[in-house]
Structures are given as C-alpha cells and as structure tokens.
Amino acid sequence: MPNYICVTCGVQHAESRAVPEHCPICEDERQYIGQKGQRWTTIPELQKDHHNRIEEVAENLTGIGTVPSFAIGQRALLVRTPSGNVLWDCISLLEDATVEAVRALGGITAIAVSHPHTVGSLVEWSHAFGNAPIYWHADNRDWVMRPDPAFVFWEGETHSLVDGLTVIRCGGHFPGSDVLHWPQGAQGRGALLTGDTMQVAQDRRYVSFMYSYPNMIPLNKSAIERIVHAVEPFEFDRIYGGWWDYHVLDAKSAVKRSAERYIQAISG
C-alpha cells in the first residue's frame, strides 16, 4: 500500500489502500488546506518531475532541497561530525541519487526535527539509512503522521545527540518546537539550526516568532521570552533557518534584539 504525501504540507502519512480523506497537519489552524483542496501524491510520482539539490551551505553543513520547490519548500540540513551525521528536518522526496550522495558524505546516524511542518518523508529517509533513529519531542507525539519504531520520543528541555550536538526545546510554534545547537558550527563559534521555531526575516539581522506563519497568528510575550531563555545558555554566532540562504550573522545578539522588538510591537 502507498504512503501518501500531502501536497500542501509535504508530510508523508501511514500507508493506506485509498487516498486519505484528511491531513490533520493542514486542518490545524497553524497550516491550511490549499486553494485547490486536499491533494495527495507519492514519492514515485514526485520522482517523475522533481529532483533534489544537494549543496554545501557551510563547512561540514550540507543543504538538501527539492527542485522545483514542493509543498512549503524547506530544505534539510546534514550536519557532518566525526562521530556521525545528523539530518536536521527533512523533505518529502527521496531518490537513488540522493541516497548515494548522502552515503558519500558519511550517511545518516540520526534524524532530528524542529516541528511537524518540516518533516517530509522522514520515515522513508530513516529506512534508507539503516533505520536511523528519529528524535522527536514527546510534546509533539500526536503529530506523527507515519508511526514507526525508529521514533525516539525525548522529554525535557534538551537532548544530546553526537559530538556535542544538542536539541533544545523552545516551544512557541508547537509545544515541542525545538532548535539544534551545533557547537562546532561557524568555525567553532557555534550555530543554531532553527527551522521556523525562529524564522529568519528578510532583513537578515533579525528573526521572528509566530504561532502560525501562513495564517499570521502571533505568539504572546511569555512564549517569546521562553524561546529566548531556552537558548541563552548556549553560545552561537550563526543561525541557519529552514530555507535556502536564510542565515543570520551575530546571531545571539540578533535573537535578543528581535525578541525585544517583537514584544514591544505586540505590547502596543
């Protein structure tokens, strides 16, 4: 039976004989049903007219995204370390050329995700790389659309992976929304991989924080302060967002001034 993929959000669902009637991800108020209604595809269908772009983003950091853009258009990030590689967030398409390219880079030891909107076909990716464990915060457990034994539901505020990589629960966008701290990133000054737990603004000096980006629902003051507090103990000079070229320099200062600006704006 096929594993259908929602065309709007790009999330792969559990196998089914018939096309699913609903996508809970898109029916939630943080997402939306496309103007053409609920539509579905599969990996074999995507392979007919899409391919993956694999490109170095920084030293030991590789971006993987789909061309032409599909669903919400995010790209995954492969963090390469001496103890193994971690795939941060995921995309819907997987094909032989991508598997071969990622294996040439050392494969995937673990997968971690920022939140349920940027997971694509992560179970498919896990299976392709030896059932790599998928680290998913337990607060977001109900948003798993394709259950699998590879899921590791971690609890608490932080979880260590390999070579100092740490997943940090920030909340906000989802209760279990998180970021990945990479201490060796930015030439040892540290980096955060944020998905859209912190969304890089068009003015690359800032990030923003929202309950829903497409539906423009803001977060409140306490949620913003929680996000800033969660990352405060960690050193980082760079933020890599969830889309190509969405980077922030002098990132720790950027998070602080972005939060202050946001709170001032919503406080009237």
Q: What is the DSSP string of 177-230?
A: -EEEEETTHHHHT-EEEEETTSEEPSSTT-EE-EEETTTTEEP-HHHHHHHHHH
Amino acid in position 41: T
Q: Which CATH architecture does the domain made up of 5-267 adopt?
A: 4-Layer Sandwich (3.60)
Distance CA 178, CA 232 (A): 14
Domain definitions of the chain by residue range: 5-267
Regarding pTM above 0.95, the answer is yes
In the DSSP assignment, the letter for residue 106 is T
Tell me the pLDDT tens digit for each residue of 174-193: 999 999 999 999 999 999 99
Which residues, 6+ apart, have CB-to-CB distance to 186 below 8 Å?
58, 236, 237, 238
Q: Each residue's pLDDT tens digit in the chain (268 positions)?
A: 999 999 999 999 999 999 999 999 999 999 999 888 999 999 999 999 999 999 999 999 999 999 999 999 999 999 999 999 999 999 999 999 999 999 999 999 999 999 999 999 999 999 999 999 999 999 999 999 999 999 999 999 999 999 999 999 999 999 999 999 999 999 999 999 999 999 999 999 999 999 999 999 999 999 999 999 999 999 999 999 999 999 999 999 999 999 999 999 999 7
Indicate the length of the chain as a whole number.
268
Helix (H) or strand (E) holding 49: helix 43-49
C-alpha 230/C-alpha 197 separation (Å) is: 12
